[in-house]
């Protein structure tokens, strides 16, 4: 079974660039892992959204959508937990 292609929205890419190096590496590794397992342990579906999921990485959250028909994961946000749900 082939993995999923992972894409980052331009805003998510900019948010990732602002992170410090150790955190950016951790976030990148977890995002890469979504390609082989889009629903890892600890992921949660966001309430009030039909197709959005989130994973925790320390105090940061990665918000993404899964498109099973196209085998695509679209990362829409990478933000601190205090800012992500606003």
Q: Write the pLDDT tens digit of every residue in 42-54.
A: 999 999 888 899 9
Q: Is residue 85 part of a domain?
A: no
Q: Where are the alpha helices (DSSP H) in 19-81?
A: 21-34
Alpha-carbon distances of 72 from 3, 27, 45, 82, rounded to whole Å: 9, 18, 17, 27
Q: Using an 8 Å Cβ cutoff, are 30 and 42 in contact?
A: no
Query: How many structural domains are present in the chain?
Result: 1
What is the pLDDT averaged over residues 47-64?
Answer: 93
Total-model pTM: 0.90
Instruction: Provide the 3-class DSSP secondary structure of residue 83.
Output: coil
What is the pLDDT averaged over residues 13-38?
Answer: 95
Q: Percent of the chain beyond pLDDT 90?
A: 86
The values of phi and psi at residue 68, to 5°, are: -65, -35
- What's the token pair of residue 72? 């695509």
Full domain range(s) for residue 24: 5-80
CATH code for position 45: 3.30.2310.20
- What's the token pair of residue 86? 């606003």
């Amino acid at each position: 079974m082939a993995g999923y292609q992972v894409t980052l929205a331009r805003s998510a890419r900019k948010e990732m660039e602002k992170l410090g190096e150790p955190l950016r590496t951790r976030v990148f590794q977890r995002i890469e892992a979504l390609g082989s397992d889009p629903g890892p342990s600890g992921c949660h579906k966001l309430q009030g959204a039909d197709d959005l999921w989130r994973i925790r990485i320390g105090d940061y959250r990665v918000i993404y959508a899964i498109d099973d028909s196209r085998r695509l994961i679209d990362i829409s946000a990478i933000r601190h937990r205090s800012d992500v749900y606003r």
